[in-house]
Structure 1
Amino acid sequence: MTYKPQLKVPATYIRGGTSKGVFFNLKDLPEEAQTPGKARDALLLRVIGSPDPYGKQIDGMGGATSSTSKTVILSESNQPNHDVDYLFGQVSIDKPFVDWSGNCGNLTAAVGAFAVSNGLVGKERIPDNGVVIVRIWQANIKKTILAHVPIVNGEVQELGDFELDGVTFPAAEVKIEFMDPADGDGDMFPTGNVIDELTVPEIGVLNVTMINAGIPTIFVNADQLGYTGTELQDDINGDADALAKFERIRAYGALKMGLIETLDEAAGRQHTPKIAFVAPPKEYTSSSGKTVSAEAVDLLVRALSMGKLHHAMMGTAAVAIGTAAAIPGTLVNIAAGGCERKEVRFGHPSGTLKVGAEAEHTASGWTATKAIMSRSARVIMEGVVRVPADTI
């Protein structure tokens, strides 16, 4: 039997924040994949190596974690006063679907660098030395993000001394501003309450804060679930019963947030909402072996992504944490001491992260005006990725 040669698709493999993803320029995709649909999803699944019943993504670019099973499609923006349109696809590891329901905040740091290096930002806007503010239209959630990309001799500066917990090597700092990060119109709390009671069969009644900021997120107190907030990945991800419990809470929370109409829909929407548990400051040992003192953080947060505890913190979830911390009465604000604040430093499995956020109360309820954090990005490989010709 004769097989056709593999397709060669131009691509760049980039680390952004504590995530990695395969980046594409829209115009470089095969024609069938330049528009949303089955062909595009099939291509991205094959690039990443999904679905993989072994859960390893050996035959693709994925790294068998939610942080490394990601794809990005970029194009010159048609939006006024924007440079680039950013479309994010979270690829399931063991199931045949790509979740387009949310953004990846970590990879946002790499979007600006890719846009500059690939001609998606006008040359007149790029200084010989300094910083270019790349105006990003996040197409999944229809929001503006500003990436402050350092430039040296007209090119993106990737290396530097900025250290990010969860990333082994230092790199250049990229400041990210999430403008108006609340999702949807009106109050960013879908029920209008900063704390709700969520009844979950077989688990009970939980106090939760449900917020649409950065990414829809459900916050629960760690002690209500029998945790301390100091847990690392192996404490959760090796416990099938715990993962099933978190997924059950997430599904019922998604239903109460109005993100799904039936519980069955939650299985096909794994990227959103996120679920996280919070606790007051306490000393713990991070996954790298470094001690994080109680005095170094305002609170502890552990978050799950695609059904597993994240090794650090998703960028979009960090926006939700910062925003919720700025609003009196939320579980996040209470865990952080209950005081007014415009920034918060929280402890996660890999260390600490500081995020700034501003929120205001209007006639229609609470809304977020801006969230700011620093990440870094580095190109790991560029060229072409090969996929079997019968993929699409």
Structure 2
Amino acid sequence: MSQLPQIKIPATYMRGGTSKGVFFSLTDLPERCQVAGEARDNMLLRVIGSPDPYGKQTDGMGGATSSTSKTVILSKSSQADHDVDYLFGQVAIDKAFVDWSGNCGNLTAAVGSFAISNGLVAADRIPHNGHAVVRIWQQNIKKTIIAHVPITNGEVQETGEFELDGVTFPAAEVQVDFVSPVDASEAMFPTGNITDVLNVPAVGEFAAASFSVTMINAGIPTIFLNAQDLGYTGTELQDAINSDEKALERFEAIRAYGAIKMGLIDNAEQAVARQHTPKVAFVTGNKAYVSSSGKSIESIDIELNVRALSMGKLHHAMMGTAAVAIGTAAAIPGTLVSQVIASGANSSVTFGHPSGTLKVGAQTEQVNGEWTVNKVSMSRSARVLMEGWVRIPSDSF
């Protein structure tokens, strides 16, 4: 019996922030995959190596974690005053599912670099030396993001001395600005409250409980809880959470019922098909701890600790979009995030995460009693790891 051959698709494997993924130019995809739908999803699943009941993604480009099971599709922007359209697909590891409901803030740091190197940014917008300002239209969430990409001799500068906790080696710094992550037509606090009570039914050995939460839509929909309400110190590393299946089940229940309260889904069963959003995070004050790399983080180094879950697991560092939510919530009085900061609400904070620390700044204001955020900024880095083609069986999609 004859077998169909593999096909090859131009692709670039890139690290952006503390994530990595497979990047494509839209026009390089097979024609059927240039539009949203089953063919595109199936192609990306096969590229990444999902669904994989072994949870390893051995037969694909994925790294078997939420931060390495990612895909990006880029094209010249159809929006005025923008350079590139950025579409992000979060690929489930053990399910045949691609989640298009949110953005990846970490991979955003690599979007500008890819766009410049692949001719998606007009040549007259790229200086010979300095920083190219790449105007990104994030298609998943319909927002503008600005990436300040370092340029040397007309080409993207990827090497440098900037160190990012959660990334082993230094690289060039890329400042990323999330512009108006909550626009005037949206509610930053979906329930209208800065804090709420979230009722969660019994889950396994955990009795039904009511949690104080801040639910915010900035960067990505996020549910913040107090670490002590969950029985944690707030300085936990990945294994303390991810090795506890019962705790993960409770976090998923919190996420599902929080999503209902935020108006993202109608019932808890729908959360299965919306794995990427909302995120769940727990916070505490500036407690000292030892990071996953063995680095000592002193209490004076940070203003608070945050631990966040992505795709059902505690993240090894911090999602960029969740950092937007953290920075925004930290700048607004009364949120659970600002409450744990000794000095109160602050427009710029450094927080601890499992891999180290991250500084984020937010420009917020209250207009007619409603909070909004004009810009959230942070520094990341990005680097091409490999470029060429990915190969998949021609009947994959």
TM over 0.5: yes
1:317 matched residue in structure 2: 322
Distance in 1 of aligned mates of 2:51 and 2:232: 32
2:94 matched residue in structure 1: 94
Indicate conservation of the 8 Å contact 2:183/2:372, yes or no: no
Counterpart of 1:28, as a letter, is D
Give how far 1:186 is off.
Answer: 3.9
Which runs of 5 or more residues in structure 1 are unaligned? Answer: none
Give how far 1:31 is off.
Answer: 0.3
Indicate conservation of the 8 Å contact 2:90/2:276, yes or no: yes
1:291 matched residue in structure 2: 296
2:395 matched residue in structure 1: 390
Q: Does structure 1 residue 2 correspond to structure 2 residue 7?
A: no
1:273 matched residue in structure 2: 278
Structure 1 runs of 4+ aligned residues shifted over 3 Å read none
Give how far 1:358 is off.
Answer: 1.2
Distance in 2 of aligned mates of 1:37 and 1:338: 49
Counterpart of 2:145, as a letter, is I
Give how far 1:339 is off.
Answer: 2.0
1:109 matched residue in structure 2: 109
TM-score if structure 2 supplies the norm length? 0.98
Indicate conservation of the 8 Å contact 2:224/2:283, yes or no: yes
Give how far 1:185 is off.
Answer: 2.0
Query: Equivalent residue of 1:265, what SS?
Result: helix
**Which whole-Å deviations, capped at 9, do the CAs of 1:337-391 have from their partners, x for residues lacking one?**
2523111100000000000001111126111110000000000000000000101
1:46 matched residue in structure 2: 46
Alignment of 1:327-366 (within 5 A): 327-337=332-342, 339-363=344-368, 365-366=370-371
1:124 matched residue in structure 2: 124
Counterpart of 1:259, as a letter, is L
Distance in 2 of aligned mates of 1:27 and 1:56: 30
Q: How many residues align?
A: 392
| Pair 238,34 (structure 1): closer, same or farther in 2 beyond 3 Å | same
1:137 matched residue in structure 2: 137
Indicate conservation of the 8 Å contact 2:184/2:372, yes or no: no
Counterpart of 2:305, as a letter, is L
Indicate conservation of the 8 Å contact 1:7/1:389, yes or no: yes
**Which whole-Å deviations, capped at 9, do the CAs of 1:19-38 have from their partners, x for residues lacking one?**
00000000000000000000
Query: Equivalent residue of 2:181, what SS?
Result: coil
| Pair 251,71 (structure 1): closer, same or farther in 2 beyond 3 Å | same
2:205 matched residue in structure 1: none
Indicate conservation of the 8 Å contact 1:186/1:365, yes or no: no
1:166 matched residue in structure 2: 166
Q: Does structure 1 residue 246 correspond to structure 2 residue 251?
A: yes
Indicate conservation of the 8 Å contact 1:83/1:121, yes or no: yes
Q: Does structure 1 residue 147 correspond to structure 2 residue 152?
A: no
Distance in 2 of aligned mates of 1:243 and 1:105: 23
TM-score if structure 1 supplies the norm length? 0.99
| Pair 112,210 (structure 1): closer, same or farther in 2 beyond 3 Å | same
Indicate conservation of the 8 Å contact 1:145/1:176, yes or no: yes
1:263 matched residue in structure 2: 268
Indicate conservation of the 8 Å contact 2:113/2:156, yes or no: yes
Indicate conservation of the 8 Å contact 1:186/1:366, yes or no: no
2:24 matched residue in structure 1: 24
Distance in 2 of aligned mates of 1:339 and 1:358: 15
Distance in 2 of aligned mates of 1:151 and 1:369: 27
Give how far 1:4 is off.
Answer: 1.6
Indicate conservation of the 8 Å contact 1:187/1:364, yes or no: no
| Pair 247,338 (structure 1): closer, same or farther in 2 beyond 3 Å | farther
Query: Equivalent residue of 1:390, what SS?
Result: coil
Distance in 2 of aligned mates of 1:370 and 1:120: 25
